[in-house]
Amino acid sequence: MPDRLRLILGAKLRALRHERGLSLKALAKKAEMSVSYLSEIEQGKKYPKPDKLIDLSHALRVPYDDLVSLRMDKGMDAVKEAIESPLVQQFPFELFGIEPQEVLRLLAGVPEQSAALVRAVGEVTRAYDARVEHFLFAALRAHQQAHRNHFPELERVADRLRQRVGATTPAALREHLESAHGYTIDTETLPGHPDLGRFRSVFARRENGPTLFVNGALSPEQLAFLFARELGFLALGSQHRPATSSWLRVESFEQVKENFEASYVAGAMLLPANEIDRALEHAFAQPTWNPEAMMTLLARFGATPEMLFYRLTERLPEALGLDDLFFLRFHHPQGADDVTLTKTFNLSDVPVPHGVEGGEHYCRRWPAMQALADLDRAQARAAGAGDRHDAPVIRTQRSHFVGREGAGASFWTVAIARPLALRPDVNAAVSLGVKLDRASRRRVGFADDPRTPDVDVGLTCERCPIRDCRVRSAPASVLDARTAQARRERALDALIG
């Protein structure tokens, strides 16, 4: 029975019962059913058989057809809109200890106010082009934050897979998929495909076994991750996995969560917890910061900067107790001014750069922006000499927030920029930040290394109070508007006393 039918019947039944002034016990007695069963019907958990529906229609003195119809009274518009909303149907309320029926009961209790609320939420989501998948990804991030991005059960799955497979080279992982799981690996189709050429992989279920289309232009590190992720899907028994490596469409929260879990397993396979923890303990105990230490870790584990930095968000809280951290990924067309934030994960309580609306410009003083600018210049010089520059650029600094957002907070921040494998005309920068406070300074030996520059930063140029910034990309329009508003409010208070 579809959830929608159960929820609509439950909402109508509850509303009719209240209209008749009947308690659950009284209606249950009139309809000759148990109170617990009636309660489950109202909660949308059960849909009764026709004979029980007839009993309920008689007890409530409503025609049977009206009771089972999907039509609802005008006063129940908000409940109907909520039930039919893709957001309510797909949002994982249970993840936060809430049943969808509880939300509907709240809406049904105050129908007029609920209708206004539902309309207001709808207008806001349309104004900001917020889609259902935005809420689903936000729910996943909240789930990760609640667990400090550490999932022991997924670590154990990765350990078992690593023991079973042995070597984690691309060749070994591919061979295991082919021999143990009957995969066909196609590396020829995607690179020349006019519409799918930018996907790293596409999965297809075929009668003769699964086929994984892999973009042959990927680096060995990226291939290893893709193959390890496939093993993660298999080990977890994923039923809702996406077909593409990056999102083309989002169909459910289960799909989002299964994709995250398989990716977590892949990262844990390639960068085992015990090995990465030991490496981190050694690196973070040093009194001075050596950028080559990060490059050494990349080479040791055969990882891309994104794989390593994201794995650190999973291990630093557990291994070193560094809970307040963030991960960011930016894309930037070579030679252009545009910078797009394509991935963010924030475990801190500070609003580090995140998705901004209205075309605001991210603060160019962060190391990710500086690394992208450095890479741009190196590529321009190489192009002028008839050459290419693909070597990564690494930048590190202590970032100190100024202004209204995050004022007073400081982060040790490292960023690595390099060209994208499948889009060499686009550069990508990933950044890891660790909040600096008394506790973290005891755990990060190089936190106050004098060779690491101190840089004041903001969120966006439009919100930043640093007037003499040499890399400002736009006027401080939002800050100026706020200042003018505060000035008007003070003037009004002074005038009216």
Does one domain contain both 361 and 462? yes
CA distance 371 to 439: 29
**Position 445 pLDDT exceeds 90:** yes
Region 23-47 average pLDDT: 89
Q: Which of 70, 95, 130 is the last residue of a domain?
A: 130
Does one domain contain both 230 and 169? yes
Closest CA to 266 of 360, 405, 161: 161
More confident residue, 48 or 404: 48
Look at residue 411 in the predicted model and tell me its pLDDT.
Answer: 96
pLDDT tier for residue 406 given thresholds of 50, 70 and 90? low
**Position 355 pLDDT exceeds 80:** no
More confident residue, 150 or 126: 150
Does one domain contain both 397 and 464? yes
Which region among 59-68, 166-175, 214-223 has the lowest average model confidence (pLDDT)?
59-68
- At 497, list the tokens: 């006393």
**Position 119 pLDDT exceeds 80:** no
Does one domain contain both 341 and 466? yes
Does one domain contain both 445 and 325? yes
pTM above 0.85, yes or no: no
Residue 17 lies in a domain: yes
Does one domain contain both 120 and 156? no
Residue 296 lies in a domain: no
Residue 488 lies in a domain: no
Domain count, the chain: 3
pLDDT tier for residue 356 given thresholds of 50, 70 and 90? low
pLDDT tier for residue 78 given thresholds of 50, 70 and 90? low
pLDDT tier for residue 1 given thresholds of 50, 70 and 90? very low
Region 12-39 average pLDDT: 90
Angle (CA) 352-422-224 rounded to 5° is 85
Residue 493 lies in a domain: no
- At 485, list the tokens: 């508003």
**Position 156 pLDDT exceeds 90:** yes
Number of Cβ atoms within 10 Å of the Cβ of 307? 22
Look at residue 201 in the predicted model and tell me its pLDDT.
Answer: 95
CA distance 43 to 6: 8
Does one domain contain both 30 and 76? yes
Residue 76 lies in a domain: yes
Q: By CB neighbour count within 10 A (0-12 exposed, 13-18 middle, 19+ buried), where does 392 fall?
A: middle
**Position 357 pLDDT exceeds 60:** no
Helix axis angle, 111-127 to 77-84, nearest 10°: 40
Residue 166 lies in a domain: yes
Residues 282-340 have pLDDT tens digits of 999 999 999 998 999 999 999 999 999 999 999 999 999 999 999 999 999 998 888 98
Residue 109 lies in a domain: yes
Q: Which of 217, 246, 270 is the last residue of a domain?
A: 270
Does one domain contain both 188 and 60? no
Residue 491 lies in a domain: no
What value does the mean pLDDT of the chain take? 89
- Range of 404's domain? 312-483
Region 128-146 average pLDDT: 84
Look at residue 164 in the predicted model and tell me its pLDDT.
Answer: 94
Does one domain contain both 112 and 158? no
More confident residue, 78 or 477: 477
Angle (CA) 402-404-410 rounded to 5° is 40
- b or e along 463-482 (b: 16 or more beta carbons within 10 Å of the residue's beta carbon)? bbebeebeebbeebebbeee
Give me the CATH number covering residue 104: 1.10.260.40
Does one domain contain both 265 and 317? no
Does one domain contain both 325 and 363? yes
pLDDT tier for residue 74 given thresholds of 50, 70 and 90? low
Q: Which of 270, 304, 332 is the last residue of a domain?
A: 270
Look at residue 443 in the predicted model and tell me its pLDDT.
Answer: 95
Look at residue 299 in the predicted model and tell me its pLDDT.
Answer: 92
Does one domain contain both 22 and 104? yes
Going by DSSP bridges, is the β-strand pair 201-206/209-214 parallel, antiparallel, or unpaired? antiparallel
More confident residue, 119 or 226: 226
Residues 178-211 have pLDDT tens digits of 999 999 999 999 998 999 988 999 999 988 889 9
CA distance 329 to 340: 9
User: SS3 string of the chain?
Assistant: CCHHHHHHHHHHHHHHHHHCCCCHHHHHHHHCCCHHHHHHHHCCCCCCCHHHHHHHHHHHCCCHHHHHCCCCCHHHHHHHHHHHCHHHHHCCHHHHCCCHHHHHHHHHHCHHHHHHHHHHHHHHHHHCCCCHHHHHHHHHHHHHHHCCCCCHHHHHHHHHHHHHHCCCCHHHHHHHHHHHHCCEEECCCCCCCCCCCCCCEEEEEECCEEEEEECCCCCHHHHHHHHHHHHHHHHHCCCCCCCECCCCCCCCHHHHHHHHHHHHHHHHHHCCHHHHHHHHHHHHCCCCCCHHHHHHHHHHHCCCHHHHHHHHHHHHHHHCCCCCEEEEEEEEECCCCCCEEEEEEECCCCCCCCCCCCCCCECCCCHHHHHHHHHHHHHHHHHHCCCCCCCCEEEEEEEEECCCCCCCCEEEEEEEEEECCCCCCEEEEEEEEEECCHHHHHHCCCCCCCCCCEEEECCEHHHCCCCCCCCCCCCCHHHHHHHHHHHHHHHHHHHHC
CA distance 266 to 260: 10
Give me the CATH number covering residue 262: 1.10.10
Residues 458-497 have pLDDT tens digits of 888 998 999 899 999 899 999 999 999 999 999 999 999 7
**Position 400 pLDDT exceeds 80:** yes
